[in-house]
Structures are given as C-alpha cells and as structure tokens.
Amino acid sequence: MSDTSPAAPEGLTHVRADGSAHMVDVTGKAETSREAAAQAVVTTRPDVVARLADGTLPKGEALGTARIAGIMAAKQTPALIPLCHPLPLGAITVDFEVAESSVTIVARVATRGATGVEMEALTAATVAALTLFDMIKAVDHLAVIGDVKVLEKSGGKSGAWSR
C-alpha cells in the first residue's frame, strides 16, 4: 500500500499536506542492520543507591526488575508510540551505571529492518527508570528521573552518530 497523499509543504515526514498525522511508508527502504543506545538517569539519595545495589529495598531486587521492564517495554514501543513501526528486535540490553546518588540506565537495541530503533532504546531506558522509581518511592518519594536522550545510532541512510 502506498501513501498517495502529498507531503507537508515543509517536508515533515509524519504530517500530510492537510496537517493530519500518518505513519510513514517504509516499504521501499532497504533493510539494514540498525542499532541505537539511549539513557535515562534516576537521581536519589546515596543511602537509597546503596539499598538498590545490595537488593534491600522494601519491594525487593530493583535492578533486575527494571532490566526486565526495559526489555519488555522496547518490544511494546509501537503499542505505546502511535507512529512507530513494529520491528523484529534482534537484541535488547539494559545496563546500569551506579554512582553515589544516581543510577544511569543505558539501553541498547538492534534490529535488521527498514527503520531505526531509537524509539525502542528510549522506551527501554525510560520504562526501566520508571520501574526503578516505583521500586524506590517507598524510601525516597523525591527521586528524580532525567537526562533522557539517545546516545548513539547506526544503520540506515543517515548513517552512524554518537554524542
């Protein structure tokens, strides 16, 4: 199926000329290996980070729970973000960099497809951060989630880049 409506005057890919949103047709794009990494940071108190690290939070082992939540979230991205294409995800990792008063979540996603996986990496990182917040809110309701961003991507016509 081909989208025959003209593009918006400014060339916005997800907006038709009449201003309505639509899903971009990627059927003509070449399938290539594509990867992306994204992060989110949960900032809390040092004593809470220590409890995260040793698994003694009231809700239990938070890092493992957040890792699984992030992986599951990446696979659900097109159900959450309306204009994202469903992709066959070949690899998803969610890792944690624990500092004195913060935890940086780094999610990496890979596929072989016609469009990139930046949104899947962002979804994995942010849902993992939300899960950490849920796990620690009983001991620190003032924790903050921030610094969400794509760190790098590769594959596709636009090539590779990193911050």
- 55 class by beta-carbon count within 10 Å (0-12 exposed, 13-18 middle, 19+ buried): exposed
Is 134 designated active site?
Answer: yes
Report the chain's C-alpha Rg in angstroms: 18
Kindly report the number of other CB atoms within 10 A of residue 157's CB atom: 8
Catalytic residue among 25, 47, 95, 134: 134
Which residue bears the tokens 């921030």?
146
DSSP 97-117: EE-SSEEEEEEEEEEEESS--
- Residues labelled as active-site residues: 134
